[in-house]
Amino acid sequence: MDELDVVTLIVRHRVKAGQEAAYEQWLRRTTRIASTYPGHLGVNVMRDTERFVCVLRFVGTRELQCWLDSSERRHLIDEVAPLLVEGDQTETEASREFWFTPSSAPQPPRWKQACITFLVILPLSLLVPLLWQPVFARLPWLGGYVPSNVLITLSIVVMVVYLFMPKVTRLFSAWLNSR
């Protein structure tokens, strides 16, 4: 899969006061259904007091379009409409990843973003070099200053972007978005 082919669907919903629990139940079911569609790569949900921003990634435009055109999605949107202040607002972006929030949504304070980033990167920067040591011992040419730093940094960046940051931002979303 070519990274340039990844397509991101950004869905914004403003939920009516008192309907948050019903919406969250609908959202869990919807993200579970979306994950069964071919080419689905994952979903991140960010929330403030009344607005939810869902970021769904698909391997390509065709796969995303299958989800958008599906009767299941149309039924789900009809079902959630009474819970929303405004209708279903979507935006499509080519190859966009979000750690914290899309640019049009309120950003968490930078100090909170720095804390979360530090929380993710520090343990990796301590652990990843130790994990590479056996490889460097077997292949000394990889253990040189530049090759070892390239491999260690690449490992950390890939794990941060694809594995840890999406999970940690979901875990700390209430704190990140609190004022």
Q: For the chain, what is the largest distance between any 2 Cα atoms, rounded to a whole number of angstroms? A: 64
Does the pLDDT at position 146 exceed 60? yes
pLDDT score of 107 more than 90: no
CATH tag for 3-94 (out of 3.30.70.100, 3.40.50.620, 3.40.50.970, 3.20.20.70): 3.30.70.100
Residues of the chain with CATH 3.30.70.100: 3-94
Does residue 49 surpass a pLDDT of 70?
no
Output the average pLDDT for the chain: 85
Percentage of the chain beyond pLDDT 70 is: 87
Q: Which of 59-63, 87-91, 134-138, 159-163 has the highest mean pLDDT?
A: 134-138
**pTM for this model (two decimals):** 0.55
Q: pLDDT-derived band of residue 99, with 50, 70 and 90 as boundaries?
A: low
Q: What percent of the chain has pLDDT over 90?
A: 45
Residue 177's pLDDT band (boundaries 50, 70, 90)?
A: confident
pLDDT at 103 (0 to 100): 52
Q: 155 or 93: whose pLDDT is higher?
A: 155
Residue 3: which pLDDT band, with cuts at 50, 70 and 90? very low
